[in-house]
Amino acid sequence: MVKGMSGHSTPVLRFAPSPNGRLHLGHAYSALFNARLARQLGGRLLLRIEDIDPQRTRAEFVEAIFEDLRWLGLSWEEPVRRQSQHFSDYERALERLGEAGLVYPCFCTRGQISAAVAARDDWPRDPDGAPLYPGTCKRLAPQERARRIDSGLHAALRLDMSAALPLAQGRIGWREYGEGAQPRDVTAEPALWGDAALARKDVPTSYHLAVVVDDALQGVSDVARGMDLFNATSLHRLLQDLLDLPAPRYRHHQLVPDAQGRKLSKSAGSPTLRDLREAGMSAAQVRAQLGFADLF
């Protein structure tokens, strides 16, 4: 058994979209997958709005999420947790990591990071394709860090992976249930992410930190999300271990491709649920197309 798997009473699942665009079929699949699993397990379904990005979050997209999910036939428990209203929860987690010496301030811009690794064609990249942080600010003397902070420079906070890994208590990983009947144990590989940013210069958290804190505070027992987040689970399991948070059961489901076999995305302009609705497609047809005809 992988370390960190604990028993749960009433299962709790969540669908957690970001309000930076309209939902598409990929979101619908994940939401319906969670709803069906909650029903099969006799559990509860939560909706969480992951709105920590002030540059991309829009109030109309939050309302559109509610509209699209209700159109699909889904319901969820109230109140809905919005990450932007809980920054203090993430700040407390960062304080705990800071007290353990596991985070450090980073003043680098993305351009500076890219320039620092530009000469190395073989520079390692994280699972999302971004170059691993080269450790520029990690090597700053304490006096220089203090001088920059006192001068008003804003800093991100990065996880010191080399310090964090030895503190992980034994083998960390998760039990992966996927979409099949037979679970498998997966060994986490958080080092693939290097010194990941846990708080941005303009926001006191990151997706990786916020999601593990939220799942713990909301008592989420089962995380069902797309395969595009499979590798992120390694970093999430490390953070859970460092913060003494419970580990949910994980299910990473298939992604819904477009006609060219590419992952659906907001940035690629994939057809939205509103587009399909306005074209005359019914919610029942969408559910049937995605394999959930028997859900309602």
| Contact between residue 252 and residue 29 where contact means Cβ atoms under 8 Å apart | no
- As its CATH architecture, domain 12-289 has 3-Layer(aba) Sandwich (3.40)
Burial track 281-296 (b if 16+ CB lie within 10 A, e otherwise): eebeebbeebebeebe
Local structure of residue 172 (DSSP, 8 states): B
pLDDT for position 4:
44
Query: Which pTM does this prediction carry?
Result: 0.93
pLDDT tens across the length of the chain (296 residues): 344 444 558 999 999 999 999 999 999 999 999 999 999 999 999 999 999 999 999 999 999 999 999 999 999 999 999 999 999 999 999 999 999 999 999 999 999 999 999 888 899 999 999 999 999 999 999 999 999 999 999 999 999 999 999 998 777 999 999 987 789 999 999 999 999 999 999 999 999 999 999 999 999 999 999 999 999 999 999 999 999 999 999 999 999 988 778 888 877 778 999 999 999 999 999 999 999 999 98
pLDDT for position 147:
96
Four-residue CA torsion sign, 61, 261, 179, 129:
negative
pLDDT for position 7:
53
pLDDT for position 121:
85
Selection from 54, 5, 15 nearest residue 246 by Cα: 5
3-state secondary structure 184-244: EEEECCHHHHCCCEEECCCCCCCHHHHHHHHHHHCCCCEEEEEHHHCCHHHHHHHHHHHCC
pLDDT for position 2:
40
